[in-house]
Chain A
Amino acid sequence: MHLPDGLLSAPVCLGGYGLTGLATWYCLRQIQRDPDVSRNMPKASLLTAAFFVASSIHIPIPPTSVHLVLNGLLGTVLGYYAFPAILIGLLFQAVILGHGGMTVLGVNAVMMGVPALVAYQAFQLRRFWRWGSDRSRLGIFAFLAGALGLGLAALIFFVLVMTNIPAAMDAQAERTAIYGLTLAHIPLMLIEGGFTAMLVLFLHQVKPDLLGHHGTP
């Protein structure tokens, strides 16, 4: 789901870098206020590695195949650490794996990073939910946050590519292909939502404090 080089115009790419700079500054500012940076950094580092590798894991969803993104999972578990983690992961993906590109690094970071922050806020809403046990609340909201992160990213991808179809191209054929690829992300939302819920429940059982501070909201 990475946007490649040469697809978007220069103003859009520059706008992406601008928004990425702003979001990175804001997230680092929140992280700076976190009293437990050393405690959260190992978790952020390991999940950055997971994010880096995830784009190489392809899941066949006929007639196409999609790869894991895990931006919703990172947002749910890392909070404000998720955006810089995704930015670093995307940089390595572009340089080493060739997924995405350097000119669209900012756009890709916004496309995956901002939904991760939204997923984190959605996960925090569990505190206002009074029904069910703590464990069931955790599982349900982790699932929703994981799926929401990917869903929003897919939606942004959809809007960007639909609004940047070159005039010389067969727009109808390209739209059909984009519809197919976007719809293929719906099953992936369920997979990543389930994966996020399992990880959150595992952390809750093994080390609950890992689900605590993620920077100052």
Chain B
Amino acid sequence: MHVKPLRTLLVPIATLSGLAIALPSLAHSTALDYTVAPAVAVSALYDTGKPMVEAQVSVFSPDDVTTPWITGTTDSQGNFIFMPDPAVTGNWEVQVRQAGHGEVIVIPMATPPSVTENLPPSGSAETATENPEAASAPVDLSPSVMPMSPQPRSSQLSPVQRWTMIGAIIWGFVGTAFFFASRTSVSDPAGEA
């Protein structure tokens, strides 16, 4: 069977061309873009080390400390990332709360800020770390990953220091008990009630 190749090809080409003209809405064109901007990563943990999962977060800009600039929830690791407005400098406040426990952390955003600090455990027993990175005028236009390095604040006590202080306080209470017990035994050598 002899087949004319030109006629054979013309039919499907014409059909496909017609479809392309008649149904432009079926096309899947995409446009990707990106912006490199300073971000703040907050990590919320209980003092047990357990992350505050799905804790509610309210971010307050320096311009308005009553109405949240943005709200959200922490992820399964207790992390929350937001991009503050680089034009608004000053103290940004981040409040993390869950079941009456929480913390308010103040993040100073200057031009250009480069601050890394940890909050000590709080009452309720949680810690938060933030790592704001800002670029007043981003020159590097390539996408970058902002590191989250939970470096402890210089004022935070090390575990050894902390437990030494706890031990000293307990010994203070025990010493007080011994002091009054000795006074009692001296004043009442017979041990009578």
**Given known contacts A41-B180, A168-B71, is B123 in contact with A99 (CB within 8 Å)?**
yes
Within the assembled complex, what's the spacing in Å between the Cα atoms of A92 and B95?
A: 24
A94 interfacial contact with B, CB 8 Å: yes
> Is the CB–CB distance between B103 and A49 below 8 Å?
no
Of residues 74 through 101 on chain B, the ones whose CB sits less than 8 Å from some CB of chain A are 95, 97-101
A124 interfacial contact with B, CB 8 Å: no
> Is the CB–CB distance between B125 and A177 below 8 Å?
no
Contact of B123 among A5, A52, A160 (CB under 8 A): A5
Within the assembled complex, what's the spacing in Å between the Cα atoms of A43 and B122?
A: 29
> Is the CB–CB distance between B174 and A96 below 8 Å?
no
Q: Chain A contacts of B100 at CB under 8 A?
A: 3, 7, 157, 160-161, 177-178, 181
> Is the CB–CB distance between A96 and B165 below 8 Å?
yes
Within the assembled complex, what's the spacing in Å between the Cα atoms of A191 and B104?
A: 32
> Is the CB–CB distance between B71 and A92 below 8 Å?
no
Within the assembled complex, what's the spacing in Å between the Cα atoms of A135 and B37?
A: 70
Residue of A nearest to B183 (CB): A38
**Given known contacts A4-B122, A4-B123, is B99 in contact with A52 (CB within 8 Å)?**
no
> Is the CB–CB distance between B124 and A6 below 8 Å?
no
**Count of chain A to chain B residue pairs whose CB atoms are closer than 8 Å in the complex:** 121
> Is the CB–CB distance between A212 and B174 below 8 Å?
no
Within the assembled complex, what's the spacing in Å between the Cα atoms of A128 and B56?
A: 49
Q: Chain A contacts of B193 at CB under 8 A?
A: 209, 212
> Is the CB–CB distance between A169 and B58 below 8 Å?
yes
> Is the CB–CB distance between B122 and A98 below 8 Å?
yes
> Is the CB–CB distance between A98 and B125 below 8 Å?
yes
Q: Chain A contacts of B102 at CB under 8 A?
A: 4, 6-7
B63 interfacial contact with A, CB 8 Å: no
- B residues touching A (Cβ–Cβ < 8 Å)? 47-48, 50, 54, 56, 58, 67-68, 71, 95, 97-104, 120-125, 162, 165-166, 169-170, 173-174, 176-178, 180-181, 183-184, 187, 193
14 contacts between A and B (CB under 8 A): A2-B123, A4-B102, A7-B97, A38-B184, A45-B174, A46-B177, A49-B169, A52-B173, A98-B121, A98-B123, A98-B125, A157-B100, A181-B99, A209-B193
